[in-house]
Structure 1
Amino acid sequence: MTLGLLGLAVGVDAEADVQTDGGGGLRGVPQEYRTWILKADAACTQPSMTPSLLAAQLYQESKFQPTAQSTVGAQGPAQFMPGTWATWGRDDDGNGQTSPWDIGDAVMSQGRMMCSLLRQAAASPYPGGPQSLALAGYNAGWGRVVQYGGVPPRDFAGGETFNYVKIILATMKRFEGTSRLEVSGTGSGPNALRKASTLLGTPYSYGGGGPQGPTTGFCDGNNGYLKGRCSASSTVGMDCSSLVQYAYWPNAKLPRTAAAQYNATSDRPVAKADLQPGDLLFWSHGSSSSIYHVALYAGDGQVLHAPRTGRSVEVVALASAMPSGDYQGATRP
């Protein structure tokens, strides 16, 4: 994150954010980083946060080297200066110490800081897009973004921040996974998963969607809002349970809500070790009477789901889809 760690600039406008496939995949990342990147992404509600953004930034900062240290004292894979680490660092990996050298601690702290910067950027009047502005803030400090009214120009700090933004936006593509699942096999589960995968990248819309596909949703006083306004009523999309209902319809006419889908299939439970593509996974606030989320198992420790307002239908690691302590169990329709 510090000045002094950049390579050469590449031919991408600093003013243009790179778009991704809706968070549908992550590739080219060492396994020890993958889970933490997906967790950090899942913990952020900003639409412009993506796994590929975090991955490209980590690559630029340290080339995924946990022992990286800069000449000016930045430490670890996310290159935190001690003063900045004091603000953002947490013991996310639960090993009893909060360290910028620990991959889990570093990546989750990077995600928290970037999420905050993306939020500031989205609310700011400055041009360039949230990703560009947040990256500039991470590298040079948000004060410099305010000072220059956007990404600092080439003549600031020898072009380091300007180039930092350009390089990361340009390299995000190399870390984006496919937006379509490769689903093998036949039967109701794989067929449902295959059908649901055609909606990857579809916006989340609370109350939206059904057997026929995406529709606008509604707000209920607590859900469906983004930045203080009712986003669902103007967003054509799906929510978690409508995606599942759509995937299985008409071969299995599942009810509309996650709780009702659990009740309709709970007599066919599936252990985590026996999960198959298309199985339904549920999360709750402590019991089967408080189910709040459902997803489709996508194989290889992944799930396909519609996560929340501001996000899109995506494929993520089961471990990072929702809080692990809320996992209720799985069923097979």
Structure 2
Amino acid sequence: MRKWWVGIGIGIGLGTSLLGLLFFATFTIAGNIAGGARGAVGLAKGAVPVEYQPLIEKWGNLCPAISPPLLAAQLYTESNWNPKARSPAGALGIAQFIPETWAQYGVDANGDGNRDIWEPADAIASAATYDCALAKDVKGIPGDATNNMLAAYNAGAYRVIKAAGVPAISETQGYVRSIRDLEKSFARPVGRVAPSQQAAGAIYFAQEQLGKPYLWGGEGTAADGGRFDCSGLTKAAYASVGIELPRVANDQWNAGPHPKRDELMPGDLVFFAHNLNDPRSIHHVGLYVGGGYMINAPHTGAVNRFDKIDTPDYIGATRVTDAGAKALPRANGV
């Protein structure tokens, strides 16, 4: 994606010595904070569009089986925050309710006298209400209560009860795993975020691309002449260590938890947005290398280079995990 601001470059000749120190720092820090986060409460700053944050924080605490990050993960997976989404299966709105299910569980949360499947205030409250109803249906079943609730959401409460837990259905098991992994990318960490074990390899790949001209839409293929745009570069960097990220920068935002600015480590993805309250407005991404700098493909007419990250449009960072990347919805087929 295009980056409109021009940061302060660092000479490419510094690359080898700088990256050598960064690799050492990456693994030193990783050793010091191994063990990572000790759980999370609430939503990470900027994790969801600001207009939905109060609704998710309110209704995400409706019952013990759900949380705001879990509810956010479900909504993002179902509709990517699109309140007008329609699926080929007939699911509607931001929470993707089938009309028959809506007729039973839809609520008038905003008090306007109308249970409106297209109104996010009603639909988000109804999604939480439905989750909690399912949690009640499978209460007492062995295993994790939230996992059982998610399995009931996907396969039906009867199958969870019959299996005495998450049933041995690959689609259901994958759904539960994906939502639980994606939940972490919406959660506000308590304590430090666990370090990435693949960070050094991703940085090494990006370092090798320094000096190459930017190409809008570039993915580094032979047809592209080995050139990248910003998200093409970060995607390829993590692909080099076996992690498949989505193609577009704002889709890469949810590929893992979000460390604070003073907790950044080499290998974190750093993001820039037009609206700091809305991750959908992310327009640029780079690969953090330490010291306040990133490697990035800046814009047409520039080359891949080091730039400072501390600019007015910096929205935050993501520490990429393999599980987080795999949990991301690939195409918005809604």
- Answer whether TM exceeds 0.5 for this pair: no
Higher relative contact order (CA 8 A, sep 6+): 2
Output the TM-score relative to the length of structure 2: 0.43
